[in-house]
Amino acid sequence: MRKEHDFLGEKLVPDEVYYGVQTMRAMENFQITGAQLDPDFIQSMAVVKKASCLTNLKTGRMDPVIGDAIIRAADEIIEGKLLDQFPLDPIQGGAGTSVNMNMNEVLCNRALELLGYPKGRYDIISPNNHANMAQSTNDVFPTSIKVCLVRKAYRLMDALSSMAKGFDEKGEAFKDVIKMGRTHLQDAVPITLGEEMDSYAVAVRRGIRRISLSLSSLEALNMGGTAVGTGLNAEPEYIRLFPEILSRLTGFSFKTADNLIDTTNTTDCFADVSGALKVVSLSLIKIANDIRLMASGPRCGLNELKVPARQPGSSIMPGKVNPVIAEVLDQTCYQVIGNDLTLTLAVENGQLELNVMEPVLSFNLFHSFLYLTNAVTTFTEKLLKDLEADEEQCKSWVDHSVGVITALLPHIGYEKCAATAREAYTTGRPVREILLARKLLSESAIQKILSPYEMTHPGIAGGKDALAR
């Protein structure tokens, strides 16, 4: 054990760990979720600390030997080392101060070790004076959240892009599969299964654009604003240089906010991102539920789609297979929408010069990205790739539907169409048979007007020649 102290007093710390006294206090005080800090977030904060150290070296404020050691320690964390040295619960009081000090302590103790000193020699390298130079938790923590969200957003957008491509492929594969379209869950007019799949691809890509646009709200940083955004203890040169260095390290374009006080006390940028995820989730729920409906059956439902069998569907009904992958996408999206409510309350609860609710805000937003990325990937790999159409069943619903009569409107008028539909409903006779019996259209005209191509492409079905008897 080694003895460390802060202004509250002394505390024994296990000698093998790289964190210190303030981390120990937070471990005792905050045992809330049983979860640990997101590894992406830890690595993102290490990137922010590295950028800050490089900036302090450029301004001449940081001792080069100490700065080099801190950068080497940060690089190890960025590479995925020392992640077990961040044992704190993600939900905590203090606006993230404990996490910031956890990082500062690990950086300093590892830097001390790299220079040949024992851990805890904060008189040589200090968590507050060196690792936190020209910084405050109040600018480090939100900046680290932004870096982390960018990392996670690109993974989610990649997953959504793969999903969109999967729907493109199904759109091509199902382009000639004619089926009934439905409005109000009732028969409407024909559509192709391929057209439905293409529409899903468009919705997914719109979601990608929505997420990408929301990231622009993360560009503005308050680094150098320190405690309340006034820039106390940070040189103007530090404030100017930091975004350039962080942008170079991350590959994402950051800039200094126009008003550091505003960017310190408000967190509406995170509501932008969470809102985008919420809307994307709503679109994905719609798609998943459409597929569940079209795959209903297999004998007593629509049975237009065949979802791959991934596991037995019942503990009591032999042979039952359920659309479990579509179901898990639904449930994941519900969780994301619930997380958005938590985040909304956290954003709303910032008072005066700081929003102290950033720990729970970031906890939920990080999970939303993680869950949604995993669920989208699961849906694409385990359902979409092997999704099949039951072409005969799709055609059968069209052949037995009265909805096709809508295509006849330009040719025999609404009144005759309505009378034909009424007779088809009451007698169960096919529409084609009634048209011929009433001598409303010739066989060749019916074939043209009610052809799958004519009913599923823009224009008046069958053209003017279809009126010839």
Q: Which alpha helices (DSSP H) does 60-183 contain, by range? A: 64-78, 97-114, 137-173
> CA 39, CA 79: separation in Å to the nearest integer?
11
Confidence (pTM): 0.91
> CA 155, CA 151: separation in Å to the nearest integer?
7
Burial class (CB in 10 A: 0-12, 13-18, 19+), 67: buried
User: What pLDDT, in 10s, does the model give residues 210-247?
Assistant: 999 999 999 999 999 999 999 999 999 999 999 999 99
**Residue 348: φ, ψ to 5°:** -65, -25
Using the predicted structure, report yes or no on whether residue 460 has a pLDDT greater than 60. Answer: no
Q: Which alpha helices (DSSP H) does 349-449 contain, by range? A: 358-382, 391-399, 409-427, 431-437, 443-449
User: What pLDDT, in 10s, does the model give residues 293-340?
Assistant: 999 998 899 999 999 999 998 888 988 999 999 999 999 999 999 999
Name residue, tokens 């899903």: 200
User: What pLDDT, in 10s, does the model give residues 66-115?
Assistant: 999 999 999 999 999 999 999 999 999 999 999 999 999 999 999 999 99
pLDDT value for 447: 82
Mean pLDDT computed over every residue of the chain: 93
DSSP letter for 407, please: G
Does an H or E element contain 213, and which? helix 193-215
Contact by Cβ (8 Å): 201, 164: yes
The more confidently predicted of residues 468 and 386 is: 386
> CA 171, CA 456: separation in Å to the nearest integer?
14
CA distances from 463 to 248, 439, 445, 459 (A): 61, 19, 9, 8
404 — pLDDT class (breaks 50, 70, 90): confident
Q: What amino acid occupies position 382?
A: K
CATH code matching the domain that covers 402-467, chosen among 1.20.120.160, 1.10.40.30, 3.10.20.30, 3.40.190.10: 1.10.40.30
467 — pLDDT class (breaks 50, 70, 90): very low
> CA 154, CA 297: separation in Å to the nearest integer?
37
469 — pLDDT class (breaks 50, 70, 90): very low
**Residue 267: φ, ψ to 5°:** -130, 30
- What pairing do the DSSP bridges indicate for beta strands 220-221 and 255-256? parallel
The more confidently predicted of residues 399 and 149 is: 149
For the chain, give every domain's residue range. 2-133, 139-219+261-391, 402-467
pLDDT value for 458: 67
State mean pLDDT over 276-297.
97
Handedness of CA 197, 203, 207, 210 (dihedral sign): positive
> CA 107, CA 77: separation in Å to the nearest integer?
9
pLDDT value for 399: 81
Q: Is 314 a catalytic residue?
A: yes
CATH (residue range 2-133): 1.10.275.10
Lowest model confidence (mean pLDDT) among 19-33, 142-156, 356-370, 435-449:
435-449
State mean pLDDT over 453-462.
65
466 — pLDDT class (breaks 50, 70, 90): very low
Contact by Cβ (8 Å): 226, 134: yes
Tell me which fold the domain 139-219+261-391 belongs to: Fumarase C; Chain A, domain 2 (1.20.200)
pLDDT value for 307: 96
pLDDT value for 407: 85
The more confidently predicted of residues 430 and 263 is: 263
pLDDT value for 461: 47
Q: Which of 212, 216, 253, 314 is catalytic?
A: 314
> CA 268, CA 204: separation in Å to the nearest integer?
25
State mean pLDDT over 181-201.
94
Q: How many CB atoms lie within 10 A of CB 281?
A: 25
Contact by Cβ (8 Å): 457, 407: no
